[in-house]
Amino acid sequence: MSQVHVINHPMIQHKLTIMRKKTTGSKDFRQLLDEIAMLMGYEVTRDLPLKDVEIETPICKTIGKEISGRKLAIVPILRAGIGLMGGLQTLVPVAKVGHIGLYRDETTHNPVVYYCKLPFDIQSRLVIVTDPMLATGGSACDAISMLKEKGCDNIRLMCLVGAPEGIRRVQEAHPDVDIYLASIDECLNENAYIVPGLGDAGDRIFGTK
Ligand code: PRP
Ligand code: URA
């Protein structure tokens, strides 16, 4: 079974509380999400392997550490996953980026695919899928399945807020995918929105409502 990592660093929790407030506008919401993404990125990449490399400082030769192993790819689920991309790119500027476009049907709450563009060598990379909201888990599950169909076998899911239902669904469908979150919230409401959550992440990021 995959691991669920709840990253409860005080800086992340403080910023998340501001994001949850309905009075927080798009500009602040976006900036806070960007900051949280970078902070969460430390944990998502905490176990990346290192190798010794010989370097020369102005003083002498020495052995330094360099990240080894697979190169990274960041795959935001459109639209809202874009909000977590910049912070991760600040941390890993050489990561390639793929995009998966999914929206939830308003009645069934099932995801509908409308876009997929991935790096040509995605299957050889460690893939970090980003989406701030893990509600029913349908979108994350479908995005991960699409990546697996392309041959990806090393995938992590980075969200901001998750509902227990969505976390369970991803764990059952993709037991090899670790999930990173800043909060596990209480439940879903009748419209499959996360409670207490923060509302519609895409609308709040892009100011569409
Ligand atoms: C939101 C969110 C996730 C999805 C989560 O996207 O960004 O992708 O819902 O819900 P689920 O876990 O029940 O699938 P939405 O469909 O609203 O699209 P948007 O990002 O384009 O607004
Ligand atoms: N998508 C969102 O943006 N928010 C939720 O609470 C659930 C799905």
> Which DSSP state fits 70?
P
pLDDT in tens, 32-46: 999 999 999 999 999
Ligand 2 centroid to residue 120 C-alpha, Å = 30
pLDDT in tens, 163-209: 999 999 999 999 999 999 999 999 999 999 999 999 999 999 999 98
pLDDT in tens, 72-108: 999 999 999 999 999 999 999 999 999 999 999 989 9
Nearest to 90 by CA among 106, 72, 107: 72
**Closest ligand 2 atom to the C-alpha of 192?**
7
Q: Is the previous residue joined to 79 through a cis bond, with omega within 30 degrees of 0? A: yes
List the catalytic residues: 104, 108, 200, 203
Q: How confident is the model at residue 125 (pLDDT cuts 50, 70, 90)?
A: very high
Residue 63 contacts by C-beta under 8 Å, 6 or more apart in sequence? Answer: 52, 53, 54, 55
Ligand 1 close to Cβ of residue 129 (< 6 A)? no
Give the per-residue pLDDT at 209.
Answer: 85
Mean pLDDT of the chain: 97
